[in-house]
Amino acid sequence: MRKKIVAGNWKMNNDLDETELFLAELKKQVFPEKVVIMIAPPFTSLNHAFKSLRDHNVELAAQNMHQNNEGAFTGEISAKMLKSVGAKTVILGHSERRALFNEDSPILAAKVNTALENEMTVIFCIGEELEDRKKGSHFDLIKKQLSEGLFHVSDGAWENIIIAYEPVWAIGTGETASPEQAQEMHKFIRKIIAENYSKAIADNVSILYGGSVKPDNAAEIFGQNDVDGGLIGGASLKVDSFMKIVNSF
C-alpha cells in the first residue's frame, strides 16, 4: 500500500547518550497520522530506541545487514539479529554502501532476498552519480540498478519494498534535485516497475526522494505526484528539522 513516509538515516552519527537525548525530544512531538515516521539509528542504538519508542508511532530501520543468516562473518549483523532488537525494516543499497564498501548488485540482490525471507521491509536505494546525469545516462543507470538488484523479487514481495531515489550528487552536498527532476525520475521508476510487474504494483509502491532534503525544500519535493516522502540524512539528526520535514506534506 502506497504510504507517505519520512525516514531519518542517521548514518554513523549519535552514540547512546545522544540517541537518548534525541528520543526524549522526539517523544514530546505530535505526529501527523497520515505519515509513517521511521528512524535508522546505528546498530548500537537500535534496541534502546525500540524500547524507548514502544508506545510511540515511530518505526525503526537498520542501515545495513549481511546477506547470510549466520556464520563466520566477523563484524557483521544478520536479519535475525536486527529483528530481535526491534528493527523490522532495513536500508539496502545506500550509495555510501555501494561506493565505500563495494556493495554491488549481486550482493544487494542477495541482501534483498535475505531481508524478505526474514519478513523484513526493505528500503532499496538507487541513484546516479553526477557524471551519469551529465552524460544523460541517468535513466539507464537507474534501470540497471533496479533490474540487477531488485527485479528478481516476486510480485508479492513488493508489499515489503520501499524505493529511495537518491541522486549521489545531492547527498550531503546541499544540492537538491529540483522538484521537477525528482518527479521525472520517480515517474520513470514507477513506469519501469509497471513494465516489469504491473501497474497495480507500481501504483502501490512508495518511492522516497533522498539528497539534501531540508525543512525549506521538503514541501515542494513531497508535493510532486510520484514522490511519497523522503530518506533524510543530515536534517534527521535534530528533532526540530526532522519534524518540520515530517510535517511538510
CA atoms of 137 and 145, how far apart (whole Å): 12
- Residue with nearest beta carbon to ligand PGA: 233
166 binds ligand PGA (CB under 6 A): yes
By C-beta, is 67 or 233 nearer to ligand PGA? 233
**CA angle (27, 53, 157) in 5-degree steps:** 125
The helix, strand and coil proportions of the chain, stated in percent and rounded to the nearest 5, come to 45, 15, 40
Residue 172 Cβ, how far from ligand PGA at the closest point, in Å? 4
Residue 195 Cβ, how far from ligand PGA at the closest point, in Å? 27
Beta 4-9 vs 161-165: how paired, if at all?
unpaired
By C-beta, is 103 or 166 nearer to ligand PGA? 166
Judge whether 94 counts as a catalytic residue.
Answer: yes
Beta 35-40 vs 4-9: how paired, if at all?
parallel
171 binds ligand PGA (CB under 6 A): yes
41 binds ligand PGA (CB under 6 A): no
172 binds ligand PGA (CB under 6 A): yes
The sign one gets for the Cα dihedral 210, 160, 185, 200 is negative
Q: Provide the binding-site residues for ligand PGA, judged by CB under 6 A.
A: 9, 166, 171-172, 210-213, 231-235
